[in-house]
Structure 1
Amino acid sequence: MTETMDQIYSSWAHRLRQNQGIRSLMEDLGQVTGHPDEILLGGGNPAHIPEAEAIFRDIFLSLAKEPSLTSLLGDYQAPIGNDHFRELAAESLSPYLGANLKKENIAFLNGSQNAYSFLLNLHSGPMADGSFQKILLPIVPEYIGYADQTITNDVFIATPPNVVPTGKHRFRYELNKEAFDLDGVGVLAISRPTNPTGNILSLSDLEWMEERTRKQNIPFLIDLAYGNPFPNLIGNEAPIHYEKGRTLSLSFSKIGLPGVRLGIVVSDEETIETLSSFAAVGNLAVGNLGLYMMEILFQKKVLPELSKHILRPFYESKRDLALGVFTTTFEKMGVDYEIHDPMGGFFLWVRFPSLSITNHELYHLCKDKRLFIVSGHYFFPGLNSDFSHTKDCIRLTYCRKEEELARGAQILAEIVASHQAKSK
């Protein structure tokens, strides 16, 4: 009988095999059974909006009838997209991003998650000059999917945000300028709107940070998956434009097409050229379906109208509905709670100050009841200080039907109410 030996992996692989927030999130999405009692308030799926899906269905059917179907299914793209699609994207995006973009400013990747795995590693870890550069998240909590993308360990740094009360049971995170430190930093990264909180950093805060990063030639990554120009879920806040020193990433996922896996990076020529090398090694080529759908969406100028008249009204209505449902239920059940002002995106970030268990334990108790949420402890990579929000916050999506939101609110409230510290 031959004994089996434990497989020896690289340190990077060993870290990936540990408990990851993004893996837990996506496995929850992929392993749902369709049971009628399941309540899916944890995932990042966009809502199924009939008006939007009708548009996508028509595009999909038109592609199936075109002679170009042969190329769509049977030909490789270049690693970051063929010149035709890059030129189209540059021309189409220029007026919305306030810049005269060229194809050399555009790269397509298989989703913005894929793009960030390259971008974060491009600017962090051991550098060619012998230095070691880190990734600064200037405000946390921040997107769950960044934390495990770097090959090098311990490259994220972050500081606690300023927590500002904005009303009864409401608060907002603000940039902690006093703790802002660029020592040893190779790149800054934010999402706008911020996933998970729906926070939207002001343009004045961005400009304040860039006054400092430009002096040290530190690039700034801005994830616009929920932002402008599409789906443009930014409430009353001003849109982001492309400027030197910024790398913007856009996604087709949150307009309602997560399955096509198309991300668009807008950056300087040198960064785009480097991404092409990354993509050739990591992906070989970008997928075709998203690009062919993009071509029609851009040529017909569909996305501005889709964002303004369908997506924004839908998600803002859902947000208001969810706030009402959870607020009413929490107060009825005597739950001690706070909700971050949801300025954009489609999540609620909820804090339970009197929770006597951790948010990760709360996640498991909810999952036992077929309620899926996301524990907030995953959203603070690089934060080494003691900050209570890392243990008592959760993220909820409000992209579900009213009945599902109401059942989820009731179950969550019952569990939290039974695990509140009496002394608080």
Structure 2
Amino acid sequence: MRLSPIGTRMAGMSGLRSIMEDVASTMAGTAEEDWINLGIGNPAAIPEAGAMWREALSNALAEDFDRAVGRYGPSRGSTVLINAVVDYFNGAYGWDLTPQNVVIGPGSQMVCFAAAALFLGPGPDGMRRLVMPMVPDYTGYQGLCMHEDGIAGVAPRINLEAEHRFSYSLDLDALARRDDLGMLLISSPGNPTGRAVTRTELDDLIAVAEQHDVPLVVDHAYGAPFPRIGEVHVDPVRHRNVINCFSVSKAGLPGERIGFAIGDPDHIGALAAFMSNSVLHAPQLPQAAVAAALRDGCLDRVTREAITPHYRHKRQFMDEVLAQQLPPGLNWRVHSGSGGMFSWIWIDHPWFDDIDVYRRLKEKQVFVVPGRYFFVDAPSTDLPDGHATRCLRLSLSAPEKAIVDGVTRLADTLTDMQNPALG
């Protein structure tokens, strides 16, 4: 069987996907508790969130099984959820949405994939690329474009802060030099760094999108208004060039794949047509559950009282464990993220390599995620001193004991790697 060029690209194995396959095959036939998984992307099992969704799904199933499960639904999304989204965002932010501004999809990643298919590819003036204005960013974005060489990333500026802290910031000059923009896409707070864009940066990105007449897609999977994982101080912005994507996955419902986009009716109408031609519509039972959680305020309450405090505590806990366990004399820094589910660690030594430490930790039954997969092309990324291969992503979703044990084994591994280099 011969695959098309698009088929070859889409059937390929990404770097991170190969890691996930390695995790699955390595753990097969062993007890899960024998392993420490700090690479996990699942949200933490927060009891209040689990109880909320269990009740909402049970009620949706009991109240109208036939409508929720036994019939096809509108490709744009169920009327009950569309109306709930319109009412919620108009009330929360004073927007003037109508149902034409909203589309529901089977997860926000599918919404982003649809946007990439609509706006990217070869044209009369050259390739129109998906440009991530500040890498590192969510590695799943690198699989969104069906065209070879259709993804580009802009390296950030690196800011050294207090001891063992650093941050990235937008390099607007580098972004402005690009002439291949078909769509801008950024997560905020970001995966893997937890960094949220500032209002000034967001305004700058909107200005670039306007100048090139392209959409800016902002993925709020970790942000405001829910699940608000972290101290997020910039609310979503309504603008004709902005497509805001939201998800309930990190609010405790990842398996049911419900996400939605809010934007200009022309953009949203095209996305709705794409859903009709590809997946027909998102699952209807969880749509009913999400609508109920929006309308009765329980999603806001659980976000405020359980989800945000949980991850605030876990980030502080991870920072303390890193400071206690990592070996003295090691030049390490953690990104000063304001949100998200991960800790982003930079080990700034020539002897450090993210794939090497991944393999060494796997021998000690610990999984982490190598940092290079969050850069579009790590070896050629315009950052100093091999930065893109000297980072790791650690999950905050793991239990506290797993974090302590995993970081302890990481520290032992780094000591083993460091001593030969120093000797």
State the TM bucket, normalised to the shorter chain.
over 0.9
Match of 1:146 among 126, 132, 141: 141
C-alpha distance 294-394 of structure 1, shift in aligned 2 (>3 A): same
Q: Which residue of 1 aligns with 2:252?
A: 256
- Is the 1:155–1:382 contact (alpha carbons within 8 Å) kept by the matching residues of 2? no
CA–CA distance in 2 between the matches of 1:224 and 1:391?
27
Residue 199 (structure 1) shift: 0.7
Amino acid at match of 1:348: S
Q: Which residue of 1 aligns with 2:110?
A: 114
Q: Which residue of 2 aligns with 1:198?
A: 194
The Cα offsets for residues 64-112 of structure 1, whole Å up to 9 and x where unpaired, read as 322x012222111122213332122111122334411111111111001
Tell me the SS of whatever aligns to 1:286: coil
Tell me the SS of whatever aligns to 2:334: strand
CA–CA distance in 2 between the matches of 1:29 and 1:231?
27
Q: Which residue of 2 aligns with 1:395?
A: 393
Q: Which residue of 2 aligns with 1:164?
A: 159
Residue 379 (structure 1) shift: 0.6
The Cα offsets for residues 308-361 of structure 1, whole Å up to 9 and x where unpaired, read as 1111111100110111112211036x5431111121111000011115252122
CA–CA distance in 1 between the matches of 2:416 and 2:202?
42
Q: Give the alignment's TM-score, normalised by structure 1.
A: 0.92
1:13 is aligned to 2:7? yes
C-alpha distance 96-389 of structure 1, shift in aligned 2 (>3 A): farther
Q: Which residue of 2 aligns with 1:324?
A: 320
Segment of structure 1 superposing worse, 368-377 or 31-40 = 31-40
1:17-28 superposed matches below 5 A: 17-24=11-18, 26-27=20-21
Residue 131 (structure 1) shift: 4.3
Match of 2:229 among 204, 229, 233: 233
1:13-92 superposed matches below 5 A: 13-24=7-18, 26-27=20-21, 32=27, 33-66=30-63, 68-92=64-88
CA–CA distance in 1 between the matches of 2:103 and 2:171?
33
Residue 126 (structure 1) shift: 2.0
C-alpha distance 358-8 of structure 1, shift in aligned 2 (>3 A): farther
C-alpha distance 29-118 of structure 1, shift in aligned 2 (>3 A): farther
Tell me the SS of whatever aligns to 2:239: coil
- Is the 2:78–2:287 contact (alpha carbons within 8 Å) kept by the matching residues of 1? no
C-alpha distance 247-325 of structure 1, shift in aligned 2 (>3 A): same
Q: Which residue of 2 aligns with 1:345?
A: 340
Q: Which residue of 2 aligns with 1:243?
A: 239
1:399-410 superposed matches below 5 A: 399-410=397-408
Residue 159 (structure 1) shift: 2.7
- Is the 2:232–2:339 contact (alpha carbons within 8 Å) kept by the matching residues of 1? no
C-alpha distance 164-374 of structure 1, shift in aligned 2 (>3 A): same
- Is the 1:117–1:150 contact (alpha carbons within 8 Å) kept by the matching residues of 2? yes
1:275 is aligned to 2:271? yes
The Cα offsets for residues 195-242 of structure 1, whole Å up to 9 and x where unpaired, read as 100111101011122223213322101000001110112415222222
Q: Which residue of 2 aligns with 1:4?
A: none
The Cα offsets for residues 282-321 of structure 1, whole Å up to 9 and x where unpaired, read as 2122111220111210121112221111111111001101
Segment of structure 1 superposing worse, 337-346 or 84-93 = 84-93
- Is the 2:214–2:241 contact (alpha carbons within 8 Å) kept by the matching residues of 1? yes
Residue 386 (structure 1) shift: 4.5
Tell me the SS of whatever aligns to 1:145: helix
Task: Give the number of the structure whose residues are more often helix, by fraction.
Answer: 2
CA–CA distance in 1 between the matches of 2:246 and 2:146?
23
Tell me the SS of whatever aligns to 1:331: coil
- Is the 1:228–1:234 contact (alpha carbons within 8 Å) kept by the matching residues of 2? no
C-alpha distance 289-25 of structure 1, shift in aligned 2 (>3 A): farther
Residue 414 (structure 1) shift: 1.4
Tell me the SS of whatever aligns to 1:100: coil
Q: Give the alignment's TM-score, normalised by structure 2.
A: 0.92
Tell me the SS of whatever aligns to 1:348: strand
- Is the 1:154–1:382 contact (alpha carbons within 8 Å) kept by the matching residues of 2? no
Q: Percent identity?
A: 28
Residue 55 (structure 1) shift: 1.6
CA–CA distance in 2 between the matches of 1:415 and 1:94?
51
Amino acid at match of 1:350: I
- Is the 2:80–2:288 contact (alpha carbons within 8 Å) kept by the matching residues of 1? no
Amino acid at match of 1:422: A
Amino acid at match of 2:416: S
Tell me the SS of whatever aligns to 2:43: coil
* Structure 1 runs not aligned, ≥5 long: 1-6
Tell me the SS of whatever aligns to 2:143: coil
CA–CA distance in 1 between the matches of 2:20 and 2:143?
14
